[in-house]
Structure 1
Amino acid sequence: MAYYLIYLHIACAFLSLSLLIIRGRLQLAGQNWRERKVLKILPHFSDTLLFCSGIAMFMLFQHSITLWFIFKMTFIALYIAVATIFFSRKRLTSPFSQKKSCFYFITALLFFLSAMFIAYFK
């Protein structure tokens, strides 16, 4: 049972990363990825499974709150904040510069990868 939970968590992390990259590239190319229903729904589903499986593993394995866990949660919170700015609907209508958009995308990507890196090498 525990192995399935771990594999679910890993699969959802890579699916979320892939969807972030796909939606980010489409947004940077000026395409409205929100028109594609799968790109609107699947990230929420994947992120919810990722979050729930993480909580379940934390409780199942009775981890204590350690430094790596605090860093991971910090990177996840920063990823959510920056990705929210990058994917905001206002950005479709406002004349945001391409450099600023690219900065937000790369920053969100780095925060997400940092959380994955910490989890892998903890």
Structure 2
Amino acid sequence: MSAKFNHTIIAAKDRHESARFFRELFEAEEAPSWGVFTNILLDDGVLLQFAEPPVEIQMQHYAFLVDDELFDRAYARIRDRGIEHWADPHLKRSGETNTEHGGRGVYFKDPSGHGIEMITRPYL
């Protein structure tokens, strides 16, 4: 068996708010939560676990590959909620999407300030 990505812990200022943000944006399933974790489940069984660490949160980058239909719905939610977004990772092209790598992409921040990238085509 080759290695498969299974789960990651995402540091959050408010774990419930962050889990709700990702769940609603990406139409993800709720997953059983335990202890300090609030969990959501993505396709292929990937678990996102949100926790509130007792240290200052450092910004991380998380990229999500979605199909064109989900991109349209999620991007509409981003715009409807007034979430600032950019077409580029340097945050220079505000309010736009890009057409890099034969697909579409957008960058924005989650409630804890992490850099989120949503793309419709993988880089490789």
Q: Normalising by the residue count of structure 1, what TM-score does the alignment of the two structures yield?
A: 0.30
Q: Normalising by the residue count of structure 2, what TM-score does the alignment of the two structures yield?
A: 0.29
Larger Rg: 1
